Amino acid sequence: MKLLFLPVRIVGGLIAGLLAKKVFDQVWGMIDEEEPPEPKHRDIDHRKLVAALAVQGAIFRLARGFMDHGTRRAVAGLTGTWPGEEKPEPE
């Protein structure tokens, strides 16, 4: 099942990345009128860089998590088998 789910997961991850980029651009537009700073830029305010990276990371992780769970639910609905673990391992 893991092998069959892999292409679905890859495509879902790509879609999540594209959606996350669009959401980040919208959110950053509400935070600052300038482009978000990136590590490759030489002259940047490090506080803005930290903020941009933190917001971007949070949005990406959220989008990726929801997309991954959604694709797993879709595959489970089609195949009748959940592609992954049912519950987290108890500690």
Confidence at residue 90, expressed as pLDDT on a 0 to 100 scale: 85
29: CB partners within 8 A, 6+ apart = none
Query: Are 44 and 4 in contact, with CB atoms under 8 Å apart?
Result: no
Average pLDDT value over all residues in the chain: 92
The predicted-structure confidence for 4-47, as pLDDT tens digits, reads as follows 888 999 999 999 999 999 999 999 999 999 999 999 999 999 99
Residue with tokens 């592609």: 83
Residue 21's SS3 state is helix
11 vs 6: CA distance, rounded Å:
9
Quote the percentage of the chain above a pLDDT of 70: 99
74 vs 68: CA distance, rounded Å:
10
